[in-house]
Every structure is written in C-alpha cells, then in structure tokens.
Chain A
C-alpha cells in the first residue's frame, strides 16, 4: 500500500515543479530566452546560467522554461480538444447504442489503425506547421482513443440501477449522461486524461524535433533538442538539460497517471 501511494506522491511532486516552472516561464524568465550574446557562448552550467548557454550565448534555462510552457500549452490544448470531442462522441454512442454506435465504432477502429503520431503527421501535412496546427492535429488524432474509453464506460453504466432510477424520476438524456453517468466514470477518465497529456508531450516533442511542430519564435523542448543535437560535442549540457526536462515532465505525468490508476484498484 505504501509503495503504491509512492507513485502518486512522487508524480505529483515532479509534475508540480514542472508546472510551476512552466507557469512562471509564461511570464518571466531569468534572461531573455532569445537574447544572443557572442561573449558568452558555450558556457557550462553555473550559478549564473543553471543549464549553461548555447551556441548563440542564449541562456538554456530560460529557453527551457519557455519551451516547457509551450509544450504544456500545446499538450493541454491537445487533450482538451481530443478529450472534449472524444467524451462527447463516446457518451452519445455508448449511451444510445444502436446502428450509429456500430458504424462510428467501426470508423473509430479504422482510424485507430493509424498510429496517432502518423495521423498527426498527415493532418500537419494538410494544414501547416505552427503551435495551433499542432494542437489541432494531435487533438484530432487523440479523439478515437478517448471516444473508445468513454463509450465502453457509458455502455457499462447505461443500464445500472441508478441510471434507471434517474430515468424514472424524469431526468432527461442530457442530464443523465452528463450529471449522473459522467461523474461516475471519473475513475477511468481522469487517469486517461493524465496519460493523454503524457502522450501529447511525447508527440509534441517528436513533431517539434522533426521541425514540423512548433516553430520560431515559439520555443519548444523538442525543437530545442533538435537544435542542441548539432552542438553535442561542444555543449553536451545543452542536450542533456533539454532532454532531461522532457524526461522529467513525462516521468512526473506517467507516475501521476500510474498512481491514480492504482488508487482505483
């Protein structure tokens, strides 16, 4: 029992630290993240520059904070879009069932045949690069997985006694779906949301690493990683600190999701 809560608390701690860094990064960073200084290139980490400086003399810590904030915004946006639409679709199909349900789920299965990173790549290629298109592409790519999870939960709850009771009391379908059933699915949906953010972070940094995700003037951790790779020999701290941030972010969210899932059991 003690070990299980360990996941949750370590996860919460790491996630909180990263979230605070990101929130602060939205408004304030120790240095201007894009200010170049030719006198201070390739400085190793020190108290003045926690993560050192890069090839242009930019402060890596400031850039990482900015990048963290962008990654967060994109990931949260992605999950908001994917889960929002996914929950709506899942709730309607799971609750009402019938032919529409079967057809939609077949299409859902087909769409799931595209791994989500691939789906996002296609949508990105049809749109254009940039922050908002990444959110749109990843969000759409995430819809099927949420729709499926929520649908099976709603189908399970549909004929439970409390739902029948609510129906007998004259509650409408909308009320039953969203104020009776939805809160009861939180044990499944909340971990799915956390894991979704986790996957979104990974997907966003992959896309940005490839150079087709977030692009300048926005900074994102994945984009920084692709930059830093070129200076691996002369500034290894640049790569390690940037990658380390991604790892910590994913680790924190992963542990949090894991902890929540185990709490349920």
Chain B
C-alpha cells in the first residue's frame, strides 16, 4: 500500500512537471495569439481587449494555475482555427485512437508472450530462424508495414477500402476490420521486440541458482517455467509493454496518416500544420498524462509480480 501511495505521489508530481513544461513551451512560441485570431488587420485596441478577455495580461504562473485547474476539470481550452472547445473536437477522435491502441496492444501481448516462451524453450534452427525473422521485423518501420498492408489487403485483395474509414457506431464489424490492419502494422515490430526481450529474460533466469534448486527438488520443467521463471522474466516485459501502450498512442500520429483514420493523431498533425496551438497543447498534455499513467499501472503490476520491488 505504501509503495502504491509513493508511486502515486511520484506520478502526480511528474504530471505536474510535464504539464508545466508543456505550458511553458507553448508560451514561449514567438507570435501573438491575438494575431492568429483577429488577423493582421485588427487595431491595437481590439487586440488589447482580446488579450484582456483571454487573460493574457496576467502573470505567467497565475495563467498556468488557471489553465491547469480548467484542464483538470475537463475544460481543455478553445481552438484558434475552429473557435470551438478542444474537448468537443477530441470527443469523437479519442475513442478511435484508444480503440486502435487497444487492438494493437492486444495483438502484441497475445502473440508475443506465448511466442517468447516458445522460442526460449527451443534451441537449434527454430530458435535461430525466429531470431533472424525478429531482427528483420524490428527493422521495418510501422508506416512502411502499413503501406504494404494497404497494398496487399486494400488494393489487391480488397478486404478493406483504404481511406474509407467506417466509424464504430456505423458498423462495428467493418470498423474493426479496418482497424485491424493498422493495429498489425503497429504491433509487428513491437512483437519482435517483446519476444526478444522475454526470450532473453527467460534464458537469463533459467541459469540462476533457484532454478537448479527447484529442479533438484523434483519439480518438472514446465512447472518451474510457469511458476517461477516466468514471474521473474515478466517484470521487464511488463515495463516494456507499458512503454508500448504509450508509444502506440504517440505513434498513432503516423499510422493514422497512412490509413487515413480520423483519430487523435491526425487531429494533432493537422493542428500542428495549422498552428492551432491550444489543440496541440491539449493533445500533447493528454498523451503525456497517458504515458505517465500507464507507467504507474505497470509499476503496480510489477510490484504484484515481484514483491521485492516494494523495498527498493
């Protein structure tokens, strides 16, 4: 319990620093936001009024505090380009990205953990072929896998129509079919990395004294593997998978572009191109919070797997 509380405090502190850094970064951008909203034709009085209205005249820390309080309450600010609340813009996009991330994460976990255990148990050519395949897969950028998948399954086999995203509420089946391909594109290199990590983790653990002891006491191989070794080998893997969840959301910017999926990543990208800073800022802070939160959860899971971590 104490461990959890300490980690929670750490998480909140990190979130605070993260949000401060993000806010700071978007405050030192050259350029006056009133220019962007009113255009260059506006008079100085109009600008002054808008600044007053937006609270830009107040000291920096006050503005930061104010922004943070609103942010936590769900008011993410207003977009410059569309003059609508950022929250509303995100409402439709966030679920799409989360669904994609979830799918990619599921594929990664379901495939990589059995595969990692399997490949650790083999020696010889099976292992070697898998290692080489893994190294090859790791070298292919997700967006290139995405392009190849679009070509094979979209253009040639026509299992889905590239660029014609179907929303979940319209047709859940078609939506999932569409999302499976980008999810695979994200998952493939990740699977290769996770398998490699789990494999070397298991092999390292298998050489330890407690395994020999367990053997000498008459336990059979699979019991040792599943009850003792896996538990230890999973700790770094869980940390890595947490990083994967975080990276998937960040990487969705690219993959959503490949498959023309209207998610958060695409919104981020178009907002960057439009210099719509409130939207960019909100998405960046949300993504960073997401990363910190997932790491926190991974810490909790790891501490369940390996209670020794509590003492460190």
Contact = CB atoms under 8 A, between A and B. Distances in A.
B64 to A, nearest CB: 15
Interface stretch (A59-67, A87-95, A242-250): A242-250
Nearest to A107: B17
A109 B22 CA distance: 14
A250 B17 contact: no
Given A232-B155, A239-B151, A251-B135, A113 B288 contact: yes
B14 A109 contact: yes
Contacts of B14: 106, 109-110, 113
A115 B144 contact: no
B268 A115 contact: no
Contacts of A121: 253, 268-269, 272
Interface stretch (A22-30, A182-190, A204-212): A204-212
Interface residues of A, number: 38
A164 to B, nearest CB: 27
Interface string B254-290: 1001100000000011001101010010001001100
A98 interface: no
A12 to B, nearest CB: 15
A212 B144 CA distance: 17
Contacts of A212: 269, 272-273
B17 A117 contact: no
A11 to B, nearest CB: 10
Contacts of A248: 139
Nearest to A233: B155
Interface in A108-148: 109-111, 113-115, 117-118, 121-122, 124-126
A232 B17 contact: no
Contacts of A233: 155
Given A3-B128, A121-B272, A254 B139 contact: yes
B179 interface: no
A114 B18 contact: yes
A251 B137 CA distance: 9
B251 to A, nearest CB: 7
Most buried by B among A117, A125, A250: A125
Contacts of B62: none
Contact of B251 (A117, A229, A232, A255): A117
A110 B246 contact: no
A233 B147 CA distance: 12
Given A209-B143, A254-B139, A236 B151 contact: yes
A181 interface: no
A101 to B, nearest CB: 16
A113 B253 contact: no
A214 interface: no
A202 interface: yes
Interface in A192-242: 202, 205-206, 209-210, 212, 225, 229, 232-233, 236, 239
Nearest to B254: A206
B42 interface: no
B275 A125 contact: yes
Contact of A232 (B147, B288, B295): B147
B21 to A, nearest CB: 6
B141 interface: yes
B241 interface: no
Contacts of A258: 135
14 contacts: A106-B13, A113-B14, A114-B291, A115-B250, A117-B250, A118-B253, A118-B284, A124-B272, A126-B25, A126-B26, A210-B253, A233-B155, A239-B147, A250-B141
Given A236-B151, A243-B144, 19 more contacts: A114-B284, A115-B287, A115-B291, A117-B254, A118-B288, A122-B284, A125-B280, A126-B29, A202-B141, A210-B253, A210-B257, A212-B269, A229-B147, A229-B150, A232-B150, A247-B140, A247-B141, A250-B140, A254-B139
Interface pairs A-B: 5 shortest CB-CB = A251-B139, A115-B250, A110-B17, A125-B272, A243-B144
